[in-house]
Amino acid sequence: MFDKLAEIEKKYEELTLKIGDPDIIADNQLWRNLVKEHSELESIVQKYREYKDAKQAVEEARQMLGEKPDEDFKELLKEEIEEGGKRLESVSEELKMLLLPKDPNDEKNVIMEIRGGAGGDEANIFSGDLFRMYSKYAEKMGYSVDIMSVNPGDMGGFKEIIYMLRGRGAYSRMKYESGVHRVQRVPETESGGRIHTSTVTVAVLPEADEVDVKLDPKDYRFDVFRASGNGGQCVNTTDSAVRLTHYPTGIVISCQDEKSQRQNKEKAMKILMSRLYQLEEEKKRAEIAGQRKSQVGTGMRNEKIRTYNYPQNRVTDHRIGLTIHRLDSVLNGDLNEIIDNLTTAERSERLAAGNIMG
């Protein structure tokens, strides 16, 4: 590991010189690429230098201890060596975390798809609650929310809602939300006060572009139709709604939320590309994982990942056994404790598997 760290530090120093070179600064694209690479290495190099400083301090203390100092100074040196050893161990673990290969999708925007599952109207209503929760979290994180497709529920909430979260690192935070979310509560429509269990499915897709996905025009078709429902004066007077069908996968996407047919086509195409990209990513993960199944992963769509229990004001994430007794706060967008714990657990799994930057 330390040979690798020395190489990274050398690379970082070379980049530091390059990004100050006037000839390179003149080439704007090259300079921006080098600055990005320099920034990505900075936290690793800083932590490595912290490790080297701590190691040097321990070695100096040991050297002075070998020179047979008086008793008071001897005790101070022993304490310094003991504390330095603990610090070295701690920084070493932090370095291992920093050396884990980054998910190439982490900095991307995400497309989120929330659908009511088992439970009929109550599941659709909870879809609306989850959308509100994620919207509140997006607000806290500085992400913008762009609704792409909506199919409202008969009694409120959504049968399906698809939207994009735009913001740096959005996928790195939201990717653990993919899977089945279960709610246990007394529905408003329940006169007997009985607790019902319903489910909602959440899919989190990294935004894909033409570089990530190659689409052959022969593989899909657009159909246009007249939009229905709320959407302003023009919504029912023009064929602005679109339906996109992808033949190889059977994926069908409808978008009608924009007044412009062109805008609806763009949104449908963006959803399709992200779904196709996600399918390819899931295939790769399955091949890499082989016989080993990740405890955390990024959540498959049929995997029950979390339960929201209203009577006990409790949220439980089943992947890591985390229980929080402040459901009201979580539903108001306070998700960082859950996401931070999921991130730590996933990194620990990768460390245990020896998945260190090559």
Instruction: Find out whether 204 and 112 touch, Cβ atoms under 8 Å.
Output: yes
Q: In this structure, are 36 and 145 located in the same domain?
A: no
Does 128 reside within a domain? yes
Same domain, yes or no, for 175 and 318? yes
Same domain assignment for residues 48 and 181: no
Domain termination site, one of 64, 98, 132 = 98
Contact of 180 with 305, CB cutoff 8 Å: yes
For residue 236, what pLDDT is reported? 47
Within 10 A of 55 (CB to CB), how many other CB atoms are there?
Answer: 17
Whether residue 281 lies inside any domain: the answer is no
Is the pLDDT assigned to residue 71 strictly greater than 50? yes
In a domain, 285, yes or no: no
* Reported pTM: 0.71
**Backbone region of residue 348 per phi and psi (left: phi > 0; alpha: psi in -120 to 50; beta: other values):** alpha
Is residue 262 situated within a structural domain? Answer: no
| Structure confidence at residue 298 (pLDDT) | 45
Last residue of a domain, one of 48, 78, 98: 98
Query: What's the whole-number average pLDDT of the chain?
Result: 86
Indicate whether 14 and 129 sit together in one domain: no
Task: Determine, yes or no, domain membership for 133.
Answer: yes
Q: State pLDDT tens for residues 244-264.
A: 999 999 999 888 877 788 888
Tell which phi-psi region holds residue 120, choosing left (phi > 0), alpha (psi between -120 and 50) or beta. Answer: left
Q: Which pLDDT band, with edges at 50, 70 and 90, does 235 fall under?
A: very low
> 57: domain range?
2-98
Residue 223 lies inside a defined structural domain of this protein: no
Is there a single domain that holds both residue 82 and residue 116?
no
Return d(Cα 16, Cα 319) in angstroms, integer.
Answer: 42
Number of domains in the chain: 2
Q: 122 and 75 share a domain?
A: no
Same domain, 37 and 115: no
Measured between its terminal Cα atoms, the distance across the chain in Å is 9
Q: Find the range with the poorest average confidence among 163-172, 270-279, 303-312.
A: 270-279
Over the stretch 162-210, which tens digit does the pLDDT of each residue have? Answer: 999 999 889 999 999 999 999 999 987 676 778 899 999 999 998 887 6
For position 281, what pLDDT does the model report?
Answer: 79
What pLDDT score was predicted for residue 323? 96
Q: Are residues 158 and 16 in the same domain?
A: no
Q: Is the domain of 20 the same as that of 80?
A: yes
Q: Of 98, 119, 150, which residue sits at a domain end? A: 98
For the cut 50, the answer to whether the pLDDT of residue 122 exceeds it is: yes
Q: How confident is the model over 82-120, as pLDDT tens digits?
A: 999 999 999 988 888 788 777 788 888 999 999 999 888
Q: Which two tokens stand for residue 329?
A: 């706060």
Same domain, residue pair 94 and 6: yes
> Across residues 26-46, what is the average pLDDT?
91
Query: Is residue 227 included in any domain, yes or no?
Result: no
Using alpha carbons only, give the angle 315, 321, 327 rounded to the nearest 5 degrees. Answer: 10
> Are 138 and 166 contained in the same domain?
yes
DSSP string, 170-216: HHHHHGGG-EEEEEEE--TT-SS---EEEEEEEEEEE---TTT----
Is 286 strand, coil or helix? helix
277 in a domain, yes or no? no
- Indicate if 303 and 193 belong to the same structural domain: yes
With cut-offs at 50, 70 and 90, classify the pLDDT of residue 231: very low
The CATH number given to whatever domain includes residue 327 is 3.30.70.1660
